[in-house]
Structure formats: C-alpha cells, structure tokens
Amino acid sequence: MSCCDDPTEIHKIDPRELVREQQHYGNLVRDLFTDDPEKVLLKLLNESNAYLRELAALRAHYPSVRLRAIELLDKQSQAVLDQLIEQEPDSSFGAAAKQRIEQLINETGLFGKLFKS
C-alpha cells in the first residue's frame, strides 16, 4: 500500500493469486473427501495461525489434533494453556498443557530467567 492509495477503492486481486487460492481450496476439499479428515487437519494445523491453533487446542474433535495444537502453542498462548489446565486438569489435554508450559519456561534460557517479562 503506497501513500496515495485510496482506502475506499476496491482492492484489486492479482489473477495469479486468485488461481492459486482456488487450487488450494480445491485441493483441500478433495483431501477432505478422499483422505482421512484427521490427517488433513493435522497437516493444516502446521500451516495455521496462532488463533486457529488455540481454537484447535480448545475444541478440536480429534484428540490427536488437540494434542498437536497444544504442542504448537507458544508463549503468547499462555492464557489458552492455563484455561486448558483449569478446565481439564485430569485429562491428557490438561497434562499436555502443563508440559507445554514447562517447555516454554525451559526454552527461555538464562537470559529469559534473568529478565522475566
């Protein structure tokens, strides 16, 4: 976006980008119909943003997807990890959230321990 762009104008999409997104959508639908949906979700989870990972950690249908989402959460998702521990303390999801918090603490290293945020 340059200094002279008019925010009221409709953003023009590059036709190549549109074709790429259509192909991605088509491949996703094909995979969902022909492959194991759990495998498809696990694959998509690796490409997803933090919000979708948090949502998957809290609500995904497949336990393997929830556990993988918990593994992928970072320090900014501390509230979600705490929520999992509080809501499901005796489940495998609560245990995985506790373990992930411990990993995040250990990953900060000496510098992080000296200057906690």
- d(CA 101, CA 117) in angstroms, rounded, equals 15
User: pLDDT, tens digit, for every residue of 22-64?
Assistant: 999 999 999 989 999 999 999 999 999 999 999 999 999 999 9
Radius of gyration over alpha carbons of the chain, in Å? 19
Q: Is the pLDDT of residue 1 over 70?
A: no
pLDDT value at residue 117: 47
Per-residue b or e along 48-85, where b marks 16 or more CB atoms closer than 10 Å to that residue's CB: eeeeebbebbbebeeeebbbbbbebbeeebeebbebbb
Instruction: Give the tens place of pLDDT for each residue, 72-92.
Output: 999 999 999 999 999 998 999
